[in-house]
């Protein structure tokens, strides 16, 4: 079953094009994560938060990545991490072009 992860955490930036340059290597690393279908990077400078929405093709890889990424963020000194996991209703999602 597909699993959706949502990460959000406090961030003072960088945002936009500066983030593209700053996080290019991280994005390349994330793209190789086992079971990852896609990731959408999120940011809101007005509220000083950033994060991402991830789709994994199975719950085990999503759980593994949640633990790994939470530790990585903590290693960067990021606290206040909100990580949520959801089962995807694949039948309904397919009807609305979600899968």
**pLDDT tens digits, 37-79:** 999 999 999 999 999 999 999 999 999 999 999 999 999 999 9
Is the Cβ–Cβ distance between 85 and 4 less than 8 Å?
A: yes
Burial (Cβ within 10 Å: 0-12, 13-18, ≥19) of residue 36: middle
Taking CA 68 as the corner, what is the angle to CA 67 and CA 72, rounded to the nearest 5 degrees?
A: 120
> Cβ atoms within 10 A of the Cβ of 41, count?
14
CATH number of 3-88: 3.30.70.100
Sequence spans of domains, the chain:
3-88
pTM for the whole structure: 0.92
* Residue 89 DSSP SS3: coil
């Amino acid at each position: 079953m597909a699993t959706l992860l949502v990460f959000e955490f406090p961030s003072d930036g960088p945002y936009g094009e500066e983030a593209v340059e700053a996080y290019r290597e991280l994005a390349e690393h994330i793209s190789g994560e086992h079971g990852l279908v896609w990731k959408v990077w999120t940011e809101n400078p007005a509220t000083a938060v950033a994060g991402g929405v991830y789709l994994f093709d199975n719950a085990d890889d999503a759980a593994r990545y949640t633990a790994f990424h939470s530790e990585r963020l903590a290693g960067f000194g990021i606290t206040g991490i909100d990580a949520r996991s959801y089962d995807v209703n694949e039948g309904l999602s397919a009807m609305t072009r979600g899968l």
